[in-house]
Amino acid sequence: MTSLTSPRPKVPPLEGDPRPSARPSRAPRLARVAFGRHPIGMVFGAPYALFVTVLFAYPLGLAVWISFHRYFFAAPGVSVPRPYVGLANYEAVLADPAVRQAFLNILIFWVINVPLTVMLSLLLATALNAVIPFRAFFRTSFYVPYVTASVAMVGVWLFMFSSGGIVNNVLGPLAPRPSWLINQHWAMPSIAIYVTWKGLGFFILLYLAALQSVPKELYEAAKVDGASWWRTLRAVTIPGVRQVTTLVTLLAIITGAQLFTEPYLLTGGGGPNGKSTSPVLLIYQTGIEQNHPDFAAALGIILVIGVLLIGGAQWLVQRRQA
């Protein structure tokens, strides 16, 4: 008799048996986890990954290294000592009154630009989403300033807001003295309004795309209930485009954080008396013009951390509201 404890004889799998004859190897599974189900996608994504690494990741890492050393530019091939100084550059940045003024200027910019950008782009997108005469013409008109070169738009703005410009001629005695872009109280608000006007077309486009996903039945129900235009905007449109509003707000904040061209061209490099200097413009002035890249690098890292904190706080608020 065969013992009950004797091992069962191995039976070869029959033809067509779906059971595998051997345990699958872990190598294909690991490769699928690392490269996805379609590894060819890595090939197509590699150029962009290289682009990000070369133009963003490496400069950011180098900036972090420079910010902890006494660094200055030297002639090619010349070896100079660049000692480690710890947090000395960061202490110098935080103690500099020009840096505090630059961040105050950006705060003024945000207070004006961010609400204007969100409100105007939403209202104009809502109007352009309706059936109105010459709708295509108006959509194009709002988008043209965004795609036009900043230098050309700055020339138009200087022509309009100079001491003898169109705006001052229209306002007459109500025009500020000195004029807008050389007035320490009006220089930064003028830049904020210019940036709002120039970028409005892009944000209108974002809202127009978001409005297409708002169900038409909600608008019809609001109309049946006798809701006014303002009530419909508050109860239907604004909740329907909340995610895009978060995106628009974040992009407007980033725009202010990287402000450079506008104060450099409109106010002659941040004038008057630094009242329109932005942190990025100050980085350029101290790092390139004054040859203090260590100070500029520390300021840049503080600016990046600040923007990341603002973006993270906004993301947390959005998650709690969802």
pLDDT tens, N- to C-terminus, the chain (322 residues): 445 455 555 555 555 555 555 555 565 666 565 666 667 777 888 888 888 888 888 888 999 999 999 998 888 878 888 899 999 999 999 999 999 999 999 999 999 999 999 999 999 999 888 877 888 888 888 888 888 888 888 888 888 888 888 888 888 888 888 888 888 999 999 999 999 999 999 999 999 999 988 888 988 898 888 888 889 998 999 999 988 998 999 999 999 999 999 999 998 888 888 899 999 999 999 999 998 999 999 999 999 999 889 888 888 887 787 6
CB atoms within 10 A of CB 94: 13
Domain ranges of the chain: 96-291
Q: In DSSP terms, which residues pair with 84 in a beta bridge?
A: 69
CATH (one of 1.10.3720.10, 1.10.150.120, 3.90.1150.10, 3.90.650.10) for 96-291: 1.10.3720.10
The single-letter DSSP state of residue 8 is P
**Is 17 in contact with 9 (CB distance < 8 Å)?**
no
Torsion of the alpha carbons at 57, 61, 62 and 68, rounded to the nearest 10: 160
